Amino acid sequence: MEEDRLTSTFRRISERLRLSARKLTGTSDDADDALQEAFFRLWKHRQTILNHEQAERMLYTSVRNAGIDIMRRRSRFVDAGVPETADDDEHGDRDDLFREVTALIDKSLSDRDRQILYERDRFGWEIADIAAAHGTSEANVRMILSRARKHIRELYRQRQNNEI
């Protein structure tokens, strides 16, 4: 598909995509992030797109998937005990909590595990891309992520229990 047709398709339906993403993610910022991610995903496959209809279908699917990924990343922080709102006095400022969790990650994980965790959760890499970059299997990447997240959750909860 020509690049100008790809861009015009995205521009033509971007407001509908944004509304769909906003309903899924709940915030305008996350919706914009989902749109950007969807366009990026589509851009990588622009040579294989045959027409505007296929581009639309791929965009809607990609926006939905990007929105789900954003919600999953958000739930990882909630699962670890990080509050969703910055004005939660009981837990302090969200930025402080982010720095605290980041410090736990930096101090307690190996270089490889930390890098894999950041590639997935900070940078949004796909599992297959991480596996290829580290010369390992997708199953191994999933196992590393699961163990690293569990370890950080446990350390964070221990730290919170010790402060009570």
Per-residue model confidence as pLDDT tens digits over 112-158 = 999 999 888 877 788 888 888 889 999 999 999 999 999 998 998 88
Percent residues over pLDDT 90 in the chain: 21
Per residue in 46-68, pLDDT (tens digit) is 887 788 888 888 888 888 888 88
* Domains and their CATH numbers in the chain: 3-77 (no CATH), 81-163 (1.10.10.10)
Instruction: Tell me the DSSP string of the chain.
Output: --HHHHHHHHHHHHHHHHHHHHHHHSSHHHHHHHHHHHHHHHHHTGGG--SHHHHHHHHHHHHHHHHHHHHHHHHHHHHTT--SSTT-TTT--HHHHHHHHHHHHHHHS-HHHHHHHHHHHTT---HHHHHHHHTS-HHHHHHHHHHHHHHHHHHHHHHHHHH-
State residue 120's pLDDT score: 86
